[in-house]
Amino acid sequence: MATNGNWELSEVEPSRALPIVVPKEVAQVSPQFVIIRQQVAAAGIAGLDQLVGIGLRKALEFLIKDFAISEHKDKAEEIKKEWLGRCIELYIPDSQVKQCAKRATWLGNDQAHYIKKWETKDVNDLKTLVTLTVNWIHNHLVTKQFVGDMPEKT
């Protein structure tokens, strides 16, 4: 408080997005996804709504390609160069991840193009599909870990 009894503004800080919560197993597979996804959240807070969908599409590409590489280490260079849709078809082993990632790709592409193919869907649907993709990848990774740690006894 100032000496004359009035308040003074001493500092202003822009709004910040809350940290994105990504399961550690997914974050370990794709740290770049976490960085991009956090920037997408910041763009949303800043009112840059036209960039959110494009950013989600980019985050999805990193997530899917990093996951594919973690499943097919010997194909890393091929995966990096592949179109996202084809990468999903060829290198994603889990059917739930595959189905959600395909649809997220379609909506992500709509966010970057002048004419939308999916008129009834919006960026919120894209966010949901990216979240589902993260969740299915997490399930796949944790299941794989437990199956490896606890082999069936013969």
CATH code for position 54? 1.20.120
Q: CB neighbours (10 Å) of residue 143? A: 11
Residue 6 confidence (pLDDT)? 83
Structural domain contains residue 15: no
Distance CA 79, CA 86 (A): 9
Structural domain contains residue 71: yes
* Tokens coding 18: 């809350």
Structural domain contains residue 17: no
What are the mean pLDDT values of the chain's consecutive 10-residue runs (154 residues total)?
A: 72 81 97 98 94 98 98 98 98 97 97 94 97 98 95 86
Residue 2 confidence (pLDDT)? 53
Q: Are 107 and 85 in contact (CB under 8 A)?
A: no
pTM value is 0.88
Which residue type occupies 145?
Answer: Q
**Which domain range does residue 91 map to?**
24-148
Structural domain contains residue 52: yes
- Residue 131's closest CA among 33, 39, 54, 18? 33
Please name the residues in contact with 24: beta carbons below 8 A apart, sequence gap of 6 or more.
Answer: none
